[in-house]
Amino acid sequence: MRQTGLHDGRATEPGEHEAPRRGLLLLMAVATGLSAAGNYIAQPLLDLISHDLRLGSLLAGLVVTASQAGYALGLLLLVPLGDVIDRRRLAVTLFLATAGFLGVSALAPSGPVLLAGTVLAALTSVGAQVVVAHAAALATAATRGRAVATVMSGVLLGGLLARTAAGGLSELGGWRTVYWVLAALMTGAAAVLHRRLPYLAVTADLRYPALLRSTLSLLREESVLRRRALLGALSFASYSVQLTALTFLLAGAPFRWAAPAIGLFGLVGAVGILSMTFAARLSDSGHAQHVAGAATALLLTGWLLLLAGERSLVWLAVGVVALNIGQQAVLNSSQTILFALDAEARNRINSAFATSLFVGGAIGSALASVVWAAAGWPGACALGAALATGAVTVWAWDRARPAHRPHISP
């Protein structure tokens, strides 16, 4: 199988086209950020939704769970399609579908309808991952890490900023306004992507069942992907422990912060996202393994700083920044390596990797809640450090193993 592209009417082979312009990458980053935001806007709105739709606390909490479940399904079921369908058309279709399902949620007269709209919007929000893979395909080998980092920064910033923006919009017009505004922005993003996103033809010829089997077989057959997926899962699990436990810490003594203030403190993590370009430049220069090693060590160091931050906001902020830089560097260096494995299987590779990442994050969050109840902040720090130690160990194991070409099942 071979993948070809068309640029200004001229067919090109992978690696022959010019690197995408920075303006296009920033446009793609904004689009992916909007898509990712839909999975987080409900979190600060749960109380308003619960009162308006007369939901119990359990059903209201299921809105967040429904979003996570829908996104996981989308990673497995929809992202691989980018290897057999024009990614531009697939991304635009998914963005429009997400806008429509956000509209369903905005009009929801009851909890079940809201849950259905939430699951479906999360399912199609993986259009962001399709755009990330498209950025990797558009870039040359020498710029792929930076291209992916730029677009992925949109995904990560979208998740960080969504909660704050949703809270502000709900103050102006209620919780339904948040969904309507995002639906309108997603529709606009789809139109712009349709107009600006370059076309890349695909020649892979797989039926959908075979495509899914191929995706699932990647983790079994390709050792590089398997090790990188485990590294990503452990690092994101460690990072997710911080996201969960930090909320508990800041809400209690000695800080006793309200939810809006806790949300704003989370924006400290944006510093880590801004560091992705520097890590990507090193990865593009052939130092992806060294970047990953330094990143996992920084994750472990970050937990030592966070332990000291139990009663010090300064050490807490420094620790959060360290964890964010470490996690984003692990993510970018891993994607730089994985996207170079096989041009015709990038979406399947990304599907397998992102699903592993998501599972790790969910496990980390769940463990954090359990450990917090039993041992508080010191226990959470010990858990996060243990997971980071696991990530360091996997990195050392990965570095000691030779790289292999992938065995993509037809």
pLDDT in tens, 172-212: 889 999 999 999 999 999 999 999 999 887 766 788 899 98
206-410 fold: Growth Hormone; Chain: A; (1.20.1250)
The pTM assigned to this predicted structure is 0.81
Phi, psi angle pair for 380, to nearest 5°? -65, -40
pLDDT(410) > 60: no
Q: What SS3 state is found at 151?
A: helix
Please state the rounded mean pLDDT for residues 152-166.
86
Domain coordinates in residue numbering, the chain? 1-205, 206-410
- DSSP characters over 357-392: HHHHHHHHHHHHHHHHHHHHHHHHHHHHHHHHHHHH
pLDDT(5) > 50: no
Q: What is the pLDDT of residue 4?
A: 37
pLDDT(242) > 70: yes
Q: Which helix (H) or strand (E) holds 406?
A: none
| More confident site: 298 or 12 | 298
CA-to-CA separations, 154 to 33, 102, 142, 145, 189, in angstroms, rounded: 4, 20, 21, 15, 13
CA-to-CA separations, 71 to 87, 309, 384, in angstroms, rounded: 18, 33, 24
With CA atoms as reference, report the closest residue to 270 among 113, 109, 130, 162: 162
Do residues 294 and 329 make contact, with C-beta atoms less than 8 angstroms apart? yes
The reply to whether 206-410 shares the fold of 1-205 is yes
Question: Taking the domain 1-205, which CATH number applies?
Answer: 1.20.1250.20
| More confident site: 18 or 278 | 278
Do residues 339 and 83 make contact, with C-beta atoms less than 8 angstroms apart? no
